[in-house]
């Protein structure tokens, strides 16, 4: 008998479709974002292509808000000065 995992957690690796859905865009837009560097490149696990959810989170956070500079840019500038 298999025991159910009592801990609920999100997957670390996401397929292309899951990664696109995770940030709220379609796969075509996600592919564009990977190509232009706004989203990370995938990892290869044997024959499977997988995006690291944490890397996608960081990349998404780094995209500036509409009409605003990225919040973290000001934080980094302050720490570097």
Confidence (pLDDT) at 30:
98
Reduced to 3 states, what is the DSSP secondary structure of residue 57?
helix
Asked if residue 40 is part of any domain, the answer here is yes
Query: Which domain, by its residues, includes 17?
Result: 13-80
- Report d(CA 66, CA 18) in Å as an integer: 24
- Report d(CA 24, CA 15) in Å as an integer: 14
Confidence (pLDDT) at 8:
80
Look-up of token digits 């298999």:
2
Asked if residue 21 is part of any domain, the answer here is yes
Which among 78, 7, 13, 2 is positioned nearest to 42, based on CA atoms?
Answer: 13
**Per-position pLDDT tens, the chain of length 81:** 667 777 788 899 999 999 999 999 999 999 999 999 999 999 999 999 999 999 999 999 998 877 666 555 666 565 555
Instruction: Report the number of distinct structural domains present in the chain.
Output: 1
Asked if residue 3 is part of any domain, the answer here is no
């Amino acid at each position: 008998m298999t025991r159910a995992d009592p801990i609920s957690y999100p997957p670390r690796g996401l397929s292309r479709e899951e990664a696109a859905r995770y940030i709220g865009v379609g796969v075509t837009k996600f592919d564009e974002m990977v190509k232009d560097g706004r989203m990370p490149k995938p990892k290869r696990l044997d024959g499977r292509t997988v995006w690291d959810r944490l890397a996608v989170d960081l990349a998404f956070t780094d995209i500036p808000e509409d009409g605003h500079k990225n919040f973290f840019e000001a934080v980094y500038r302050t720490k570097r000065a």
